[in-house]
């Protein structure tokens, strides 16, 4: 084609997204393919299996490099640290049957869409690949693969209304349907034999099957309305939403009317959400950029339920299909579960190294075996068989099953405690957690709010506070009207539904919502407006009611919501509520009290949630729908502050104290006000009363690309302020925390204060608090300071969902093992990227989280850490046991190989099945220790204590087996050829006479040849096998750790009974003289004195092993002393940073300001990980 194939061989897929990949083009070559097929047959399928594990080798062997345009196979590689390869075959989709001529489908030729750019002329075919359930087609103009199944982002608001407002034609729909594929989220149920992941696949299948095939109404251009099944929907289709409940089968943009949607299945929030139609703005900005963060308020998400529709003048509620199938919000959630991000945990990396060591060990044994048998003139076939035997002995095949068993038991214990897990491999990671991020609202504090007071403002001054509940009702006025109408509440199933804050605020007015029918509003025509009226208990009001004409829903980016309302028979007014700082900025300066900031600080410093209220009158004759949000939310009049109380959950403080005692760091990540967050952190025990809180503020410098950062101690409020507040309220404190100063009172003289601050900072007793805005600026302009700030950062307020995810990832970069506990909604992304995400919501949003707690309480966090630690220790115990079991058997076999002997089949079976398998299953039954100790179990197999334990026990076993092997040959009754000489030599003893006579000389003579020729029966075999078998029981007992991470071994009754039973059977085999049994087990008779000698050898080995394990391996003070002596320091990034900062007397730089002198780093794309596309937290209003 005249192009350099190498140049166009490579491209990036999903650039800048979480699932970014590199894509390489390859073309299959016939001769290479033939050679590979021959290789499959010659290797008996081994090569095929290797290619399955290594898809890149498959592509490199079968194909040659070419440009992506010519490729029939593509190789994909993830851009993360794991660099995982996958192979995809290019497929061709024919649309020739649908497009008979250009006139038949004019949009194909002129429409500026991927559908027209993907169809190759004249073949009328589309080249496609499917990656992680998403279809990509080849753009013949851009020369790249692009995603289909979604409306293009470049459309403007007016273009969406113009192009898709009338619906697609039949031809357009047919072509899009063939190219995009069906609108289904197909999660097949895994066959029952794949037991480990069966349960999860069934759950996912149930989550999506309800909306995969429902009947919908669409509008066809020139053909009117049609009913069809939802799997036929394509991007650009015009959906018509009818009255009544509707389950959405796709993502869609609302272009006319209004909807109330229940998004709880995706966000975990049971609050109905109001969706407004996309404005017909006539500009050149793409619709998402025009709507900015507010665009979600126009999007209906797949899997959510429309519970109410409100038509506009057109009389129909319409929406344009935005995304279908796995491109939708719900499809994205399903893909994040089906294709989780791999974990990089030391235990699993070390496990591979451990297996490599065993394979190397086996290789040495193979060389030894070949040398011994070859030098003794054995047949080649026998040599190969014996050599291969060594591999199966040295590398324990039961290891993966034994580890999986331990995790399954832990998962079962967690399930009994109401904690559900969909990612079992993360259980071990929970044992290493040393930092937990907590959401505040609904996690540390109660979900519900109590209306505490109202601080009205008149003529630029705050008035007396109005308390709730109060004897007298709130007087009629602008503040009352704001409380009655500035909300997004609806009546659903006979109850007022909506945000708990809105519900409490509205209930305080004693008004009711009349949402039954359309209302004739003067100057507005007939519209379906929500009307609020005085209720039976309401105080007298001079109006019949107030109609809410238009809503500007809450936006987390704007931190506010607004409504346009009109008194029946009166004028139109705007009411706004939101974050007090934001509302005050939108008000005319002369209406905001001068002491606004100090009053706000007074309440937020006590942990109250504070909301600002404002209003203004609108000019008569203007249609509310014609006004933009910017016009409405400007030149407002400040009305006052609404103060709400959000109490801590009962279990919050004890749990955080338990974590602190265990040296597990707690961090608060919230969307709330920073002062409120700091106070809650102090009340919850995250910040000690004696510790200093330093506020970190970062701001962009107007008119430049630089920024500033300032460290300053958080302002302290004097006690008289609180006494004055109590006096003004005329109330005693409701609880000890309401009027208690959240910050230490500063009555010291200035020099004393400075000295106290210096001492606190020098000892590291300080905490940083910062807002989401400051965090973003620090990440962009002061990247070098971010690790230092995170080291002591405890409160992160006003954090968006994307910033929460970013914060968790930044902590992980410091080598923290991070847990995240939240409600599964605005925390969805952070829950997914954390090492262990714990959702306190049982809604569908929680499926993105590895762990879900049935009870919405953080008490599940220490429970999960306890079980994780126990599971991790169990994993190490199983590793050690499996290593010793295989090594013990390996050493025994190699000793016997020296005499061209080996263990018999029944001897192998007894050790493998009756001993090891049963121990592997029951050892993991031991539960978690109830107390969290202030240190974690080791995280890696390649650690000195563990290696020393394994090496010493191998030496003990080797010594015992070699000692037994050598000493048995020195016994006077020993004979290399006569395996009955021992019993014959003691024939005159009374105790053995019956067994000897029963054996019979004739039998010995007749059977001697057959018994000696079987290659197994010998004194060495009997000695080594009995010693090695009971040695397996010894190491199982010694390695079964109890405290401090697991309960004492005697609490595992099943395991103890199994060990006693196995020991009884083994001792029976040692001392029994049953001919048939000995013959089957390939054992021979030995004198009683030798049997007692073997028991003594085993007892000495047990004593030595137990002593070493308890006195050396588990002696924590000894290892700490060795670390100190050899000056060993942790290599974790955060530990190294701590040591550096301890030596830095200038850190933190109090009351100083730094300026950035470098170009900002763009982190917009990195603020996220997986975020929940449907969620917009209204926590930021508070």
Question: Which are the catalytic amino acids?
Answer: 439
Closest Cα partner for 1032 from 967, 1094, 954? 954
Give the whole-angstrom CA distance, residue 1130 versus residue 405: 32
Q: Cα–Cα distances in Å, from 832 out to 286, 301, 618, 819, 1129?
A: 30, 20, 46, 10, 31
- Phi and psi at 618, nearest 5°, equal -100, 150
What would the two tokens of residue 957 be?
């076993």
Element (H, E) at 699: strand 692-700
Residue partners of 626: CB distance under 8 A and separation at least 6 = none
3-state secondary structure of 1023: helix
Number of helices and strands in the chain (H, E): 41, 44
Q: Which residues pair with 260 in a beta bridge?
A: 274, 308
Helices 195-209 and 329-338 meet at what angle, rounded to 10? 180
The torsion angle over the Cα atoms of residues 881, 887, 890 and 895, rounded to 10 degrees, is -130
The HSE-up count of residue 35 (CA atoms within 13 Å, CB side) is 10
- Phi and psi at 170, nearest 5°, equal -60, -40
Cβ 564 vs Cβ 572: under 8 Å: yes
Radius of gyration of the chain measured on its C-alpha atoms: 37
Pairing of strands 530-534, 525-527: unpaired
Return left, alpha or beta for 286; rule: phi > 0 is left, psi -120 to 50 is alpha, else beta. Answer: beta
What would the two tokens of residue 625 be?
């729908």
Closest Cα partner for 665 from 824, 818, 821, 442? 818
3-state secondary structure of 339: coil
CB neighbourhood size of 713 (10 A): 17
Q: Which residues pair with 147 in a beta bridge?
A: 136
Element (H, E) at 789: helix 786-792
Element (H, E) at 944: helix 944-969
Give the whole-angstrom CA distance, residue 646 versus residue 652: 13
Cβ 468 vs Cβ 449: under 8 Å: no
Closest Cα partner for 887 from 386, 354, 371? 354
Closest Cα partner for 12 from 27, 22, 2? 22
Cβ 79 vs Cβ 85: under 8 Å: no
Residue partners of 700: CB distance under 8 A and separation at least 6 = 706, 707, 777, 781
Helical H runs in 260-300? Answer: 264-267, 287-291
Cβ 518 vs Cβ 535: under 8 Å: no
Cβ 91 vs Cβ 145: under 8 Å: no
B/e letters for 30-59, b = 16+ CB within 10 Å, e = fewer, are: eeeeeeeeeeeeeeeeebeeebeeebbebb
Cβ 86 vs Cβ 76: under 8 Å: yes
3-state secondary structure of 1119: helix
Give the whole-angstrom CA distance, residue 1018 versus residue 1012: 8
DSSP character for 648? B
């Amino acid at each position: 084609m005249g192009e350099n194939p190498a140049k166009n061989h490579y491209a990036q897929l999903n650039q800048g997204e979480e699932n970014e990949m590199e894509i390489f083009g390859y073309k299959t070559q016939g001769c290479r393919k033939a050679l590979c097929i021959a290789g499959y047959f010659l290797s008996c399928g081994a090569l095929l299996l290797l290619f399955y594990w290594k898809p890149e080798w498959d592509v490199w062997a079968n194909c040659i490099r070419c440009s992506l345009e010519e490729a029939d196979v593509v190789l994909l590689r993830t851009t993360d640290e794991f660099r995982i390869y996958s192979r995809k075959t290019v497929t061709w989709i024919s649309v020739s049957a649908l497009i008979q001529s250009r006139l038949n489908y004019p949009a194909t030729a002129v429409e500026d869409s991927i559908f027209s750019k993907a169809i190759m002329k004249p073949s009328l075919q589309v080249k496609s690949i499917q990656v992680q359930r998403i279809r990509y087609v080849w753009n013949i103009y851009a020369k790249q693969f692009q995603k289909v199944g979604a409306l293009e982002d470049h459309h403007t608001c007016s273009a969406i209304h113009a192009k898709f407002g009338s619906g697609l034609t039949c031809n357009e729909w047919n072509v899009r349907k063939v190219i995009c594929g069906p609108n289904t989220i197909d999660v097949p149920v895994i066959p029952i034999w794949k037991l480990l992941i069966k349960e999860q696949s069934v759950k996912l299948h149930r989550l999506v099957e309800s909306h995969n095939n429902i009947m919908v109404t669409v509008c066809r251009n020139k053909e009117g309305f049609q009913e069809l099944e939802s799997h036929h929907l394509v991007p650009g289709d015009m959906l018509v939403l009818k009255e009544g409940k509707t389950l959405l089968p796709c993502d869609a943009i609302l272009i006319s009317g209004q909807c109330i949607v229940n998004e709880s299945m995706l966000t975990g929030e049971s609050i109905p959400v109001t969706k407004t139609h996309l404005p017909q703005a006539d500009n050149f900005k793409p619709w998402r950029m025009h709507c900015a963060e507010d665009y979600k308020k126009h999007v209906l998400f797949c899997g959510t339920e429309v519970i109410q529709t409100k038509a506009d003048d057109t009389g129909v509620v319409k929406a344009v299909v935005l995304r279908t199938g796995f491109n939708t919000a719900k499809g994205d959630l399903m893909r994040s579960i089906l294709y989780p991000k791999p974990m990089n945990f030391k235990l699993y990396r070390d496990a591979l190294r451990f297996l490599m060591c065993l394979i190397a060990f086996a290789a040495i044994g193979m060389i030894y075996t070949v040398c011994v048998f070859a030098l003794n003139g054995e047949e080649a076939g026998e040599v190969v068989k014996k050599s291969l035997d060594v591999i199966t002995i040295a590398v324990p095949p039961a290891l993966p099953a034994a580890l999986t068993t331990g995790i399954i038991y832990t998962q079962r214990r967690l399930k009994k405690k109401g904690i559900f897990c969909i990612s079992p491999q993360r259980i071990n990671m929970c044992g290493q957690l040393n930092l937990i991020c907590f959401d505040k609202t609904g996690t540390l504090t109660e979900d519900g709010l109590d209306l505490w007071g109202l601080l009205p403002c008149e003529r630029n001054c705050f008035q007396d506070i109005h308390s709730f509940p109060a004897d007298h009702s709130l007087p009629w006025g602008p503040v009352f009207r704001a409380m009655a109408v500035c909300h997004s509440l609806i009546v659903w199933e006979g109850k007022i539904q909506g945000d708990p804050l809105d519900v409490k605020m509205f209930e305080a007015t004693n008004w009711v919502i009349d949402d039954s029918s359309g209302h004739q509003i003067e100057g507005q025509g007939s519209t379906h407006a929500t009307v609020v009226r005085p209720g039976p208990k309401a105080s007298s009001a001079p109006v019949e009611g107030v109609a809410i004409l238009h809503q500007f829903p809450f936006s987390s980016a704007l931190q506010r919501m607004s409504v346009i309302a009109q008194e029946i028979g009166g004028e139109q007014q705007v009411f706004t509520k939101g974050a007090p700082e934001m509302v005050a900025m939108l008000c005319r300066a002369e209406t905001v009290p001068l002491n606004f900031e100090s009053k706000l600080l007074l309440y937020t410093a006590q942990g109250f949630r504070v909301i600002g209220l404002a209003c203004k009158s609108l000019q008569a004759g203007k249609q509310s729908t014609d006004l933009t949000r910017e016009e409405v939310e400007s030149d407002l009049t400040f009305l006052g502050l609404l103060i709400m109380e959000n109490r801590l959950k009962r279990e919050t403080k004890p749990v955080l104290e338990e974590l602190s005692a265990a040296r597990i760091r707690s961090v608060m990540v919230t969307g709330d006000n920073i002062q409120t967050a700091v106070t809650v952190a102090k009340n919850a025990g995250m910040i000690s009363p004696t510790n200093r809180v330093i506020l970190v503020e970062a701001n962009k410098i107007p008119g430049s690309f630089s920024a500033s950062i300032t460290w300053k101690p958080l302002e302290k409020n004097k006690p008289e302020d609180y006494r004055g507040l109590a006096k003004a309220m005329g109330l005693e404190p409701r609880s000890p925390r309401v009027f208690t100063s959240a910050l230490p009172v500063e009555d010291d003289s200035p020099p004393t204060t400075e000295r106290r601050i210096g001492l606190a900072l020098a000892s590291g007793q300080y905490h940083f608090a910062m807002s989401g805005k400051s965090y973003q600026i620090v990440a962009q302009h002061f990247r070098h300071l971010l690790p230092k700030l995170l080291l002591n950062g405890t409160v992160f307020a006003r954090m968006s969902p994307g910033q929460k995810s970013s914060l968790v990832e930044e902590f992980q970069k410091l080598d923290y093992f991070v847990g995240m506990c939240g409600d599964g909604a605005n925390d969805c992304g952070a829950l997914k990227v954390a090492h262990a995400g714990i959702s306190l919501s049982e809604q569908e949003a929680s499926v993105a989280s590895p762990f879900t707690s049935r009870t919405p309480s953080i008490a599940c966090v220490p429970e999960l850490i306890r079980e994780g630690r126990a599971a991790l220790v169990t994993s190490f115990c199983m590793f050690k046991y499996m290593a010793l079991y295989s090594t013990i058997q390996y050493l025994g076999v190699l000793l016997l190989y020296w005499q061209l002997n080996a263990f018999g089949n029944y001897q192998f079976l007894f050790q493998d099945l009756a001993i090891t398998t049963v121990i592997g299953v029951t050892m993991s039954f031991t539960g978690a220790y109830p107390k969290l100790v202030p240190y974690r179990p080791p995280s890696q197999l390649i650690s000195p204590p563990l290696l020393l334990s394994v090496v010493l026990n191998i030496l003990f076993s080797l010594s015992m087996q070699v000692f037994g092997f050598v000493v048995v040959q020195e016994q006077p009754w020993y004979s290399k050829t006569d395996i009955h000489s021992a019993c014959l030599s003691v024939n005159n003893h009374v105790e053995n006479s019956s067994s000897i006579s029963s054996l019979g000389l004739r039998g010995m003579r007749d059977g001697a040849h057959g018994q000696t020729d079987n290659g197994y029966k010998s004194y060495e075999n009997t000695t080594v096998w009995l010693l090695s078998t009971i040695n397996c029981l010894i190491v199982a007992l010694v390695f079964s750790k109890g405290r401090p991470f697991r309960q004492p071994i005697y609490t595992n009754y099943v395991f103890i009974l199994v060990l006693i039973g196995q020991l009884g059977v083994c001792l029976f085999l040692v001392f029994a003289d049953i001919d048939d049994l000995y013959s089957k087990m390939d054992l021979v008779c030995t004198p009683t004195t030798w049997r007692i000698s073997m028991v003594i050898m085993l007892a000495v080995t047990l004593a030595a092993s137990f002593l070493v394990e308890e006195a050396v391996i588990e002696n924590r003070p000894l290892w700490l002393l060795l670390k100190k002596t050899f000056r060993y320091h942790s290599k974790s990034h955060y530990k190294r940073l701590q040591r550096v900062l301890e030596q830095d007397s200038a850190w933190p730089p109090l009351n100083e300001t730094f300026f950035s002198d470098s170009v900002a780093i763009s982190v917009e794309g990195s603020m996220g990980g997986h975020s929940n596309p449907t969620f917009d937290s209204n926590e930021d209003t508070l």
